[in-house]
Structure 1
Amino acid sequence: MLTSSKPLSNQTLVSGIDVNDITHFLLELDALKRVNRRSYVTHTTRRENSAEHSWHLAMACWSIAEMFELDVDHEKLLKMALVHDLGEIDAGDTFLFASSRHAAHIEERAGIARLQAERGNGIANLAEIWEEQETGSSKETQLLRVVDRLLPFLLNLNTEGKTWAESEVKRSQVAAALAFIEGSFPTIHDWLTENIAYAVQQGWLIDS
């Protein structure tokens, strides 16, 4: 049975907060669900959207950090995972192997600046958190980057390489994109290397 409890909100702040502003910002965030990625969701024929990827990224980072007992700040890690793709609301998703990928961060950074300034945003350091995951070198950032590359690889592996096949992706492209993981997380890199070979064997990646 529900019982009465003390208010959750700080009553001294309530008079200066407009719930309409809050819901405005929440709907701005909702737009991430409309950004489709290249990866396909397993056991379906549809593509993953960026909001789903952000959730998957956060959960995967959390689980891996716990499993390997990594010395990371979990709150910081999860916040970075959640803001990771917010810039795509304005910029859209850029395929890992697209020639324009090097410039994607410019539009994404502008999108983050817009969100930071939106009415109803209660996250004062939103842009700061995004910038750290984008350009930082902390342990949390390193893990985030590893898992961000692991997940689309995993989805490709479990959808018969559908995205790779559609874009005629080569083994060398995938290996190059994942090479940095060898230094930061050798165990995962070894698994990826084994499965790159498997994907080539299955004909999902072009062997060149």
Structure 2
Amino acid sequence: MNSSRSVLVTALFAALIIVGAFLRIPLPPVPITLQTLMVLLAGLLLGWKLGLASVGIYLLLGLIGLPVFTTGGGYAAFFGPTGGFLVALLPAVTITGIGADAGWKHRDKNPWIFTASLILSSIMGTIVIYAIGVPWLKTSLGLSWQAALAGGMYPFLIGDTVKAIVAVMVALRLRERIMGILQRQTEIGDID
């Protein structure tokens, strides 16, 4: 892979995650953001290593105080009641990326299994976000399990399922282009 292009694409996906955190779709009972969609796309399109780097950049920018999280930025936002959902983005993109990397390697053998592996990877990434975020929310606010699930998971299930499927649909369209950018040989005049 071309290292300068890898850095550029990684930074671009970190920026997309930031933008996604602030793009809201006003659906009842609560609006959803496109942050998790961008995280899933990072894993599906970039693989686990570059996807993890993109999410890591996003989280570091928020941790040092830049207002990139929906709750602001800094230590308090990162480790607050919804901080578990942020921390969970790291294993989520990793799991999504590992599954996607395996799926892309076998896409020509069986298209149905390939597509199913991408969907499963995306859904597993989403489950990881809930598995870390909901207990963190429960513990931080001293909620019952029912209250934590009602506030941190149930309202988002349909939207997150749709985002997981949309992420796969977008990845199927864009993966070859992204890989072409990352693997293109440096041309005369390019700086590495």
CA radius of gyration, larger in: 1
- Structure number with the bigger relative contact order (C-alpha 8 A, sep ≥ 6) is 2
Same fold at TM > 0.5: no
Task: Give the TM-score normalised by structure 2.
Answer: 0.30
More helix by share: 2
With normalisation by structure 1, the TM-score equals 0.29
